[in-house]
Amino acid sequence: MKKQSNLKTAHIDQHQVDNTNKVLTTNDGVPVYDNNNTLKAGERGPSLQQDHIFFDKLMHFDRERIPERVVHARGSGAHGIFEATADMSAYTSAAFLKKGTVTPVFTRFSTVAGFKGSTDLARDVRGFSVKFYTEEGNYDLVGNNIPVFFIQDAMNFPDLVHAVKPEPNNEMPQAASAHDTFWDFISLMPEAAHMTMWIMSDRAIPRSLRMMEGFGVHTFKFVNAEGKATFVKFHWKPRLGVHGVAWNEAQKISGFDADFHRRDLWEAIENGDYPQWDLGVQLVPEEDESKYSFDILDPTKIIPEELVPVQIIGTMTLNRNPGNFFAETEQAAFDPGRLVPGIDFSDDPLLQGRIFSYMDTQNYRLGGPNFHELPINRPVNGKHNNQKDGFSRMDIPGGAVSYFPNSKAEGCPYHAMLKGETGFQSHRQPVNAPKVRARPEAFADHFTQARLFFNSQSKEEQAHIINALSFELSKVKDVNIRKRELAVLNQIDKTLAKKVGDNLGLKPSEELDPLTLKFARQNHPQYPIRPQQPEIELSPALSMKVKAGEGTIRSRKVAFLVDEGVSRASIDTMKQELEKEGAQAVLIAPHVGEIKYKEGGKAAILHSYLTEASVCYDAFYIPDGDSVARLADNADFLQFLNEGYRHCKALAFAKGAESLAGKTFIEKDQGVIFESRDNLAEDFIAVMKGHRVWERETGRKVPA
């Protein structure tokens, strides 16, 4: 019995907390500068919603007797590190951004609309959230793979989510925006026009979580050691490039492997192909806040990179998969209110609402106010405060004191300000304005940047947007909703609206629907306003199209389509060239097990035409050998080729296998490589670096 008691004591001891001589911190380990005063608009002004330290303290108190939990969205996560590579001390005092500093991180990617068991390949926004475990406490950069959002004010967020979720009367459709309630809401909210262009583009159906950008969405502030602020926008730039899939392909991937993105991320890390993103910032001096034709506090607007270039300040590498999905990925709690000294909020009205919403959600979802004690959420520098009770408490704070100020615990944990230490301080921004429910006039320009995005796309990308809108609106049963949205599209681009209208059998109206105008004027009484002249008409940075020679095929999966009697030499030659570039060669045959080489010996086969699908591979190679005659009569093999061609992927044929193209719908183009006419490996790799041969879509239509 004594041995069991000792074991129990040892387990308890590791959660003991000693506040002696410790600075007072938030639950994320951020030092608290002042624990007596809420953040106000002036000494006698109203308290501000962005006082995340106050809300953290009060909501813990509110829930100390209330256990609650709610289900979470579908997501995938991984551990890694962030290394700061630039000197940012002129702009921010944040310790983790000092050049050379390496900070552990946990990153979670997610879909938005679907339930936990939905497909990875839904057309949807992707969450892109990073938790930095810094020396000064946890910092959460909670973003998306799209830099803007549907709405401008947090008051509309519950309505947006209700509209895009399955309809409440029948709970359909799952993980899809192609239904009446979503487009009913969107067609009445012209502020969503810019986001609509992004969500209908290939950005919403990424090839991989490793191949999508991330954005902080909102404008934040850097604050340096002297208290000077600089507006900042955050960007994650993937080292593998930004790539999507074809819509027809996405639908098939969903049926074949609903975990496609999750599996891709997991396998890449397991294989040592660690995904990397460069962290970039756009910096705007305080005095330039009103410099542009758009408002930098409007979350439906970007700052074009041609106006303010993105400066790379560090690199994130994801190098370790979770050991337990639930304990880490599912219980990871992200909150844009988790800041560290040197970073602060702007007055973006959507961000202001998120500061409260996310913390409140995590308290509810993770069963109470102590979710920060879960291992995945713990700050590496510890936490020290007077909060002791509440549901799911894991730490065991001792002593009789649970308040501040106190003398019984010698004033500990103490304010950072009491001993001249650095703590979190909000930027001293002057505020002198009436309390109103209103929006700036510049927020009423809903179409200029939507037009910028559409015009900046390649012809193929524009066609994909038109097809996506046609698909989605075809699923809308109420013709009045279709007409309203066509009128919105007509304000963006008349050709866009006409082509979508032709696919719906409708003529777009020149004017916005009266109901749309009615709701828009509730926010802007003078709507529509005359927008300012935009600084630029085109932004090449908004297109996903890869410039020749700039891509990479690292970690891409190339299907080698083989059968009995395949030439080992033909396989090995191409395999070596692909592996030099970091790609993977995967042999696929009519059956798993073994097949014989033409030259003798056997190849191990782990994948067959029955267990695999073309949509899960990036390119295809057909080697030489006696296998060619067998493959000519294999319908599953021919289906692989036809689908790969349909989805604009690179196909390479060894000289002896070129006749197989004649058995398919394939026609020679720059993405179909014949050894007898091209530089086989070199040209194959060059096409793969361009991601797809999207021009193929405008030619012959191929069934798949």
Q: What is the per-residue pLDDT across 677-692, written as a single tens digit (0 to 9) for each?
A: 999 999 999 999 999 9
Residue at token pair 């066509």: 486
Q: Give the separation between CA 559 and CA 679, rounded to whole angstroms.
A: 19
Q: Is the pLDDT of residue 89 over 70?
A: yes
User: If you classify domain 447-542 with CATH, what class do you get?
Assistant: mainly alpha
Contact 356, 108 (CB under 8 A): no
Active-site choice (19, 27, 35, 72): 72
Q: What is the pLDDT of residues 430-470, one digit of tens each?
A: 888 888 888 889 999 999 999 999 999 999 999 999 999 99
- Sign of dihedral through CA atoms 61, 67, 71, 75? positive
> 28: pLDDT confidence band, cut at 50, 70 and 90?
confident
CB atoms within 10 A of CB 531: 15
291 half-sphere exposure, CB direction, 13 A CA radius: 11
72 is a catalytic site residue: yes
Contact 694, 648 (CB under 8 A): yes
Q: Give the separation between CA 282 and CA 51, rounded to whole angstroms.
A: 25
- Sign of dihedral through CA atoms 262, 266, 272, 276? positive
Q: How far is CA 116 from CA 70, 79, 120, 168, in A?
A: 12, 21, 10, 17
- What CATH fold (topology level) applies to the domain 557-698? Rossmann fold (3.40.50)
Q: Give the separation between CA 114 and CA 125, rounded to whole angstroms.
A: 11
DSSP symbols for 150-201: S-SSGGGHHHHHHHHSPBTTTTBSTT---SHHHHHHHHT-GGGHHHHHHHTS
Mention every residue, 6+ apart, whose C-beta is less than 8 A from residue 599: 567, 568, 569
Q: Where are the domains of the chain?
A: 25-383, 447-542, 557-698
Q: Is the pLDDT of residue 41 over 50?
A: yes
Q: List 139's β-bridge partners, or say none.
A: 132
Q: Which three-class secondary structure state does DSSP give residue 663?
A: helix
Contact 319, 79 (CB under 8 A): yes
Q: How far is CA 190 from CA 150, 197, 300, 366, 490, in A?
A: 9, 12, 11, 36, 12
Q: Is the pLDDT of residue 11 over 50?
A: no
Q: What is the pLDDT of residues 225-283, one digit of tens each?
A: 999 999 999 999 999 999 999 999 999 999 999 999 999 999 999 999 999 999 999 99
Mean pLDDT score, 614-624: 97
| Residue 375 preceded by cis peptide, ω within 30 | no
Active-site choice (27, 35, 138, 144): 144
Superfamily of domain 25-383: Catalase core domain (2.40.180.10)
Q: Give the separation between CA 651 and CA 559, rounded to whole angstroms.
A: 10
What percent of the chain shows pLDDT beyond 90? 71
DSSP 113: S
Mention every residue, 6+ apart, whose C-beta is less than 8 A from residue 10: none
Q: What is the mean pLDDT of the chain?
A: 91
pLDDT of 548: 66
37 is a catalytic site residue: no
Contact 436, 41 (CB under 8 A): no
Contact 84, 314 (CB under 8 A): yes
